[in-house]
Amino acid sequence: MTDPTKAELSSIPRNLSDILNEKLAEKLGKSVVSSKELKQTLDDLGLSAAADKSTRQAELVKRLGVGYTLEGDVDRLEFDGNTVLSDKYVLIVSARLVKDGSTSPVWKTSAKRFYKKVKAAKGRAVSNVFIEEQLPEIAESLADEIAKALGR
């Protein structure tokens, strides 16, 4: 199996965001704004993903009337298909939950590593293994931490 290209892995951050949003909605209920609603609001406001991040955040908070915002990045993706009998998948994530109007996070994680060994996945794209096998576990872990930080 060859290493995946950047293009093959480019959908992983968006997929993680969507899955995390679903997990947070399960834990916190209707107080979570859906990914679809968030995207629609960005479109309505004319704020593209390339817009200034702080301006985009402020406008979203104002428009949606939210009390907290969650922002984060996939810092790094690693794949090692050379391990004996299993492929190794590593995702490194940083994220923070900020109360509206504050600069100090209520919760944060920096460069948190998530490892997954999967029996050599013949015929499956590396990106699909990340999405199907690893992202739900990562999203569940992050959602648990966030819910705990919010006292739920």
> For residues 16 and 49, what is the distance between their CA atoms, to the nearest angstrom?
16
pLDDT for position 101: 67
Residue 1 in any domain: the answer is no
pLDDT tens, 74-105?
999 988 887 777 888 999 999 999 887 677 89
pLDDT tens, 45-54?
777 665 677 7
What residue numbers bound the domain in which 18 lies?
6-149
Residue of higher predicted confidence among 4 and 144: 144
**Number of domains observed in the structure of the chain:** 1
Is residue 107 helix, strand or coil?
strand
Q: What is the pTM of this model?
A: 0.84
CATH number, residue 70? 3.40.50
E strand or H helix that includes residue 93: strand 86-99
pLDDT for position 143: 95
Residue 37 in any domain: the answer is yes
Q: Which residues contact 58 (CB under 8 A, 6 or more apart)?
A: none
Residue 137 in any domain: the answer is yes
Report the candidate in 57, 70, 60 with the shortest Cα–Cα distance to residue 150. Answer: 70
Residue 44 in any domain: the answer is yes
